[in-house]
Amino acid sequence: MRQPDIEIYVKDLDRSLIEAWLSSALGAPCQWQEKGRVSRCECAGIPIVWFEKAVGKWHSLLLESANTPWADDTQCAQAVAAALNIQVRCAPGSWQEAEGDTQADNWLSVHPDGSVETIIWHTS
């Protein structure tokens, strides 16, 4: 099932690398507008938000659309991890507040080779 948006987390990565990857993956340039730690752009009709150091040293990349080349966070994380040879984190699926804080700490760690492991990540 396709997620309504995509959100992944990358550690200590310069936004210019994500910008180049997005432009290549989506086939269109990104024109960023910066305001503090948050940058926004629209790339190939997809609204995108980059939140610098959203969780410690981890930056958030949010694609606010279901119309992406990836059906879910994991597929996008695998594409970024492979292209940039980095570790990427993402949620294992859509989290609902009714699931409680315990489930909110379950995350996926995606490695450059495409492997995925479940981790506990306390983001708050």
What are 1-21's pLDDT values in tens digits?
A: 789 999 999 998 999 999 999
Per-residue CA distances from 53 to 57, 109, 114, 120, 123 (Å): 5, 17, 24, 19, 12
Q: Sketch the domain layout of the chain as residue ranges.
A: 6-120
Tokens coding 22: 């997005």
What are 50-94's pLDDT values in tens digits?
A: 999 999 999 999 999 999 999 999 999 999 999 999 999 999 976
> Pick the residue with more confidence: 73 or 97?
73
- End-to-end CA gap in the chain: 28
pTM: 0.91
Provide the H-helix boundaries in the chain. 15-26, 73-84, 100-104
Query: Do the Cβ atoms of 41 and 110 come closer than 8 Å?
Result: no
Q: Which residue has the tokens 């150091």?
A: 53
Closest of 87, 91, 83 to residue 18, by C-alpha: 83
